[in-house]
Structure formats: structure tokens, C-alpha cells
Structure 1
Amino acid sequence: MKTYYQFWFHFSLVILALFFIISCSGTRHGEKLSVEATIENQIPILIENVRKSPENPQAHYQLAKTYFDVDSMQQALAAVNKSLELNGKSNRARLLRGDIFLEQQMLKQAYQDYVDVLTSETGDEFVESIRTRFGRPFPIYLLTSGDFNNAFPYFSPDGKRIAFQSDRDGNWEIYLMDVDGTQQVRLTNNQAHDEMPVFGVRSNIIAFSSTRDDTSNRSRINKARNIFLMDLLTGNVARVVEHVADDWFPALTDRGQKIAFVSERDDERDVPFQEKLSDIYLKDLQSSKLLRLTQNQADDGSPSFSSDGKWILFASNLDGNFQIYRMNSQGQDVHKLTHGNFDCGAPHFSHDGKVITFFADKYGNFDIFMMGDQGENVIRLTNNMAQDAYPRFSSDKRKIVFHSNRTGKYQLYWIDLMNPLNHDDLTTALQNEIDALQDSETRIKD
């Protein structure tokens, strides 16, 4: 589980890839041109249509769209360029060309086509579709700043506060702040590293992992952790999961009476614990009964409960890449929710259980995504060259908080899900990205 372990702590290396992004968006579904023929079989017919009507922009557009649907991007680009040559005012063709450029990671060209569509006479009609393509459909705001790292945020159940970890004091400690980023208070004060704070349904109880029981002189990455609970009203801290193995990534349920966590305690191989396979466990804090929820030759991690405690989301590389899975609270009825050749991780349910947020490296770096509870309707929420990770919903589903190193250090940000970008904001955001990409190209040339 070496990469899985290091992912959470090597912030200087970019919050590594154990379990992230997704191809959960699936393949694009092309327009069926005939009820009895597949998309691929339509290409010869469309080529013949173009031969017969070479001056018809619609014929070239249909051919370009079909090439796009079967991932033949060079042919699609040639066909759509011909369509635009014949009818330069076609927003549908220009939008398709932007999509082709986007698939080829030609971002400046893609964004310019989207801007041209938005600024046309009928641009308002395309706002929603371009918002989704841009991968930044909602406003994003910075919550913290400083020459240190702030990471792993988690909303309190009432949505008024956020717990997080910070290394501003030289080691990781747990902090609490108001939801607007003010009134930051240090909760732990220990020479060890205290990490990954989470709330359950009670606003005064936080679970976190800590190296405070490992008194060796080893470096942070080589120290094992245990799980602790803190009562915010009394300040009392109690160890609730103790083992020589590394126990981490807690998740609370059943009014804080049960806790899920990640451990490699059952991997008996004689190798360093960072290289062992991790599983997910559930402990009843009243009876001390321990239940192993996953058991396979893979790394399983990042458990997160639904608000009713019936379901657990988690990430696993059982099939190669880390993908998002769902199981019931007894480790049964397991369903794979994402599918792809990239990694997904840190899934989290909305309070009503209808939506899941997570992060993934589908486009080369980690971004925040959102999807339905069955893995459907995937939406990209961030589009940045930095590493955006560990998203968490507020209880009212109006916000998602996450951490990112887009300013150099890891800081906390929030996404305003209630106010999607309007026409002017979207146009400005796209133009700013075009200018930034142009500036980057100029610096490289110089």
C-alpha cells in the first residue's frame, strides 16, 4: 500500500495517485443516424453524402460528429473545419470543434471556440453546455492562506464550522474555523502529527488519526498512527483504535458509536507497513467489536458513510486503477460506481445520499467531480493545473470544501453549488484561461 499511504502525506510531491479520478463519465454517446446501423457503419454513408454534396456544411458537420463519437479526432477536426469554412456562423459546428480541441488537450483553441459561441447572437443558449465542458460550472472561493499547508477539511454537521489539519506550527495539528474561514482555533497541541479530522452527526465530537503513540525516531512517513476522539466541549482526547499497525482515515457513524478506518493489520507479509495492503474495518466503540469489511488482494481505503449509516463509499484498486465502490455497513452488497483507466478517490455522500463528490486524475492532475449515487451524471467541478482533492459536502448540499495546492501551498477552497456561472462570468473565466495559457506559452518561448 505504499503509494496509497504516501498519497495522503507527500504534499510536496502533489497529493499522489492512489485512488483518484475516473473514467466514470463513461464514453460519449453519439447521435444514432439510423435505428438499424451502428455509428461506425454510418461513416461510409456520410462520406458518400459529403462527396455528393461537397458544399453542404451540414453534411460535413454530421461526418465530423460521427468521427468524434468514435474517437477519430483528426478526421473529425478536418470535417468540422470544412463545415465552418462553408458556414462560419454555425455555433453547433464551432462548439463541436471546441470539444475536439478539448479532447486533444488543445485548451487555448477549445476555450476560444467556446468564447466565440458565447459572444455570438445566440450565445445564451449555450451557457449550460459550455459550463459543463469548461469543467468549472460554479464559483470557487479561497478560504485559507499563508506560507504553510492547510488540508483535509470537513464540515461540522450544522454546517457552521470546518475542521482541518495545518502544519503552521511545524507539524500537523487539528484546527477548527468558522465556515467563512475566520476564527481559526488550534484544537491539538502535540509533538506528534494529528491528521484527517472528521465529524459524525454530533457537532462536538471529532475523530482524527495521530502518530502520538509511535515514540520512535523514525520520520513521519515511517510512523504508524492510531485513531482518537476529541470532545470539543471538554477538550478530552481518547484513543479508540490502537494497534501496532498503521490505522488511519476515520469515519464516524451511529451517533459516533461506531467508527470505520483503514488498516493493513491483517497483511502478515514481512515488509514495511507502507508496502502492505490496506483494508477497511468497522469498530463498535461500545462493545469494542471489530469487523473487517473488505478482504481482497488490493488496497481499500477512504471510507465515508451515508448520513443514515447504511452505506459506505470507499476507493479500491481491486481492478487495477483506484475506483469508487459502495458497500453496506456490513461489508456486503458491493457495487463499483466508476470505471476507467485512471484513479478516483475520497468519495463523500451528500446528506440526502443522492449525490457523491470525489476527486480524480482524468485529465492528468486531480480535479473535483460530482456524480449521482449510482455513478451516473458525472460533472467536473474544478479545472486547474494544480492538485484539487479531498472534497466534502456541507450538510445542506449547498457547498463543497476541498484542498488544493494552486497557490503553491495546500489551502482550503469552497465551491458554491447554488450559483452556477452566468453568461458573463463564464465568458470572463474562459477568456482569463486563454490569456493565462498565452502568457505561459510566451514565457516558454522566451
Structure 2
Amino acid sequence: MKYLKNLSILTILFAFITACKVSKKSTSIDYTIAYTAKESGNVDIYLADQEGKSKIKLTTHENRDGYPAWSPDGKRIAFYAYYDGRKTWSIHTMNADGTNRKRLTHTKNMWDNSPTWSPDGKKIVFARAYRNTEGVWTEEIWIMNADGSEQKQIKPLNGGGPYFTKNGKIVFHSKSNTSEICIANIDGSNLTKLTNNEAEDWHPEVSPDGKQVAFMSTRDGKKEIYVMDIDGSNQKRLTANEGDKWYPSWSPDGSKIIFASEKRIYMMNKDGSSIKKIIENGSQPAWLKISH
């Protein structure tokens, strides 16, 4: 009888522990969308679940933090921050919980922005903007190791908003008379223009399967979200609502796109249908590309 009694107690304890584990798992939140918001005086980086119902604040820097970009494994986030009264913008990384913040670029009077990770997480490519000695506004594409070492310009690429493709190429918006979406090898060779019109095209992001590019364009009068195939074909407008649209970012499975408009963040299907607001106050969204 004593043996059966002890066995019953152990069975109850095991069931209780198992229930606790299941309960904990069922109430856990997947914070998969990084974004910026101004809620307490400064612009900081936040995380939210894909429905925008829960959020956490990651940064508390005295100046602006912005343009978050997830590492491929979801463990780190790259971003930029202001210094010297906004005269200097520097690229940083931090853990996904906001700890272990590291400043990677330190060049004064340069606007380092738009960081993105290579597919293997070993490199970070970013844009650098500044006025040259003749006062001309200049935009360059730079690359470095993920720890900030071996920083170098990718010549002859000029522009911003770089993003890696699955096979290690770079898409970005070039800057000449107008901004056009281009693609090039990581060493700057084989530069190919994907868009070609009199409007401005910016901020490309490649779909997780590597087959499409989402981007912003003013070709229809306002800033709207478009998609095209990776070779520049089949360009299609997705949005047509009031207000400018910015910063498209794909879901992990490529079925949805989030974007910012009027300091709010919206989600839609990749064909532009079923648009809904998910975050009331936010911009510069970046969707983690790992499915949970």
C-alpha cells in the first residue's frame, strides 16, 4: 500500500510539472517584429508579436536608435544610433533582448545607416551618407565583419538601403538623377539596374525564397509599396490607401508583408489584400525571418 501511495504522489507531481510546462509554453510570446517608436521622448527600438498585441522596449539611448535588422539566427539586432548632436550616425549591434550593445562604426560626421546581415550572419552591409569636400551629398555602400572589423567601401556602388539576397548578392537603391533598385555582386561587380523610371524607388527587401523584391516607389505620385521578381520583371503596385508607405518587410514564409505609414505599422498579404493595422505607433519595421 505504501508503494502504491508513493507511486500516486509521484504521478500527481509529474502531471503538475507537465501542466506547468505546457501552460508556460502556451502563454509565451514570440516577439518577431522589431520596429522604432517615440513613446518617451526619444526614438527607441521595440519588439512586438506579429499581431501587435504585446511589445517590449529594447533601447534607452539618450539619442535616436533606428532601422533595426535581425541577424539570420534571430539572436542579434543591428541598428544605427545618433551621436554629436545628430552629426554622426553609427552602426551598432545588440542581443535580441537589448543586452550587449556594441558600437561598430565611429567615423565622425558620417551618417551610417540601413544595416543588414549576410545570409551566414558573418558580415554586415550598410549605407554611409555624407557631404564631400565640395559640399556634394554622397551615398556609399560599405561592408564589414559582424564584429565591426575590416570595414571597406564596396566600389563603385553608390546609394543606400542595401539588402542581401539568398545567394550573397546585394540589392540597393542607387543614387544618380533618381533612385533606382539595383543588384550587384558583393564586390561591386556585375551591377544591374532592376527598375528604370523617372520616379524614386527605395528600400528593397528580398523575399525569403529569394524570388521577389518588395520596395517603395513614387511612380504613381505617392510613396507606395511594390513588388517585382528578382530580375526586375512583373513590377506590381500593392498599396493604394491614403498616406505614404515605407519600409516593406516580408514574413518568414513570404506570404505577408508589413510596412509603415503615418507612424503606424500595417500587415497585408503579399498580393496587397487584407491590409490591417497591427501597431498604432511605430515605423521602420523588420520581421524576423525565422518561423516559430
TM range (shorter): 0.7 to 0.9
Structure 1 residue 334 corresponds to structure 2 residue 245: no
User: Which structure has more strand as a fraction of its residues?
Assistant: 2
Q: Which of 282, 285, 292 is the matching residue for 1:391?
A: 285
Q: Which of 192, 197, 205 is the matching residue for 1:296?
A: 197
Structure 1 residue 226 corresponds to structure 2 residue 140: yes
The Cα of 1:200 is off from its aligned counterpart by: 3.0
Structure 1 residue 211 corresponds to structure 2 residue 122: no
Tell whether the 8 Å contact from 2:156 to 2:188 is kept in structure 1 after alignment: no
**Which moved further from structure 2: 225-234 or 346-355?**
225-234
Tell whether the 8 Å contact from 1:200 to 1:255 is kept in structure 2 after alignment: no
The Cα of 1:278 is off from its aligned counterpart by: 1.3
Tell whether the 8 Å contact from 1:164 to 1:175 is kept in structure 2 after alignment: yes
Amino acid at match of 1:153: P
Structure 1 residue 196 corresponds to structure 2 residue 114: yes
Question: Which digits, 9 at most, give the CA deviation of each residue in 1:165-198, with x for residues without a partner?
Answer: 0114551000000001111001112122211111
Decide whether aligned partners of structure 1 residues 217 and 181 sit closer, same or farther in structure 2, where only a CA change above 3 A counts.
farther
Q: Which of 237, 255, 264 is the matching residue for 2:175?
A: 264
Q: Distance in 2 between the 1:287 and 1:196 partners?
A: 18
Decide whether aligned partners of structure 1 residues 234 and 149 sit closer, same or farther in structure 2, where only a CA change above 3 A counts.
closer
The Cα of 1:140 is off from its aligned counterpart by: 1.8
Structure 1 residue 370 corresponds to structure 2 residue 267: yes
Amino acid at match of 2:71: S
**Identity among equivalent pairs (%):** 30
Question: Which digits, 9 at most, give the CA deviation of each residue in 1:187-218, with x for residues without a partner?
Answer: 11212221111113121111101137x54274
Structure 1 residue 175 corresponds to structure 2 residue 92: yes
4+ aligned runs moved over 6 Å, structure 1: none
Task: Give the TM-score taking structure 2 as reference length.
Answer: 0.76
Aligned length: 241
Decide whether aligned partners of structure 1 residues 339 and 239 sit closer, same or farther in structure 2, where only a CA change above 3 A counts.
same
Decide whether aligned partners of structure 1 residues 159 and 145 sit closer, same or farther in structure 2, where only a CA change above 3 A counts.
same
Tell whether the 8 Å contact from 2:155 to 2:187 is kept in structure 1 after alignment: no
Match of 2:138, SS state, is: coil
Q: Distance in 1 between the 2:235 and 2:210 partners?
A: 15
Structure 1 residue 253 corresponds to structure 2 residue 174: no
Match of 1:225, SS state, is: strand
**Two-structure CA RMSD over aligned residues (Å):** 2.3
State the structure with more CA Rg.
1
Decide whether aligned partners of structure 1 residues 250 and 335 sit closer, same or farther in structure 2, where only a CA change above 3 A counts.
same
Decide whether aligned partners of structure 1 residues 217 and 172 sit closer, same or farther in structure 2, where only a CA change above 3 A counts.
farther
Tell whether the 8 Å contact from 2:104 to 2:148 is kept in structure 1 after alignment: no
Q: Which of 153, 157, 164 is the matching residue for 1:239?
A: 153
Q: Which of 245, 255, 259 is the matching residue for 1:344?
A: 245
Q: Distance in 2 between the 1:382 and 1:217 partners?
A: 43
Decide whether aligned partners of structure 1 residues 227 and 180 sit closer, same or farther in structure 2, where only a CA change above 3 A counts.
same
Match of 1:183, SS state, is: coil
Q: Distance in 2 between the 1:190 and 1:137 partners?
A: 36
Which segments of 5 or more consecutive residues in structure 2 lack a partner in the other structure?
1-41, 44-50
Match of 1:314, SS state, is: strand
Tell whether the 8 Å contact from 1:202 to 1:255 is kept in structure 2 after alignment: no
Q: Distance in 1 between the 2:76 and 2:186 partners?
A: 25
Tell whether the 8 Å contact from 2:208 to 2:289 is kept in structure 1 after alignment: no
User: Which structure has more helix as a fraction of its residues?
Assistant: 1
Q: Distance in 2 between the 1:343 and 1:211 partners?
A: 23
The Cα of 1:231 is off from its aligned counterpart by: 1.3
Question: Which digits, 9 at most, give the CA deviation of each residue in 1:334-386, with x for residues without a partner?
Answer: 1211112321111011121111111112xxxx2011111111222211223xx
Q: Distance in 2 between the 1:281 and 1:155 partners?
A: 22
Q: Distance in 1 between the 2:238 and 2:57 partners?
A: 30
Amino acid at match of 1:175: H
Q: Distance in 2 between the 1:264 and 1:252 partners?
A: 18
Task: Give the TM-score taking structure 1 as reference length.
Answer: 0.51
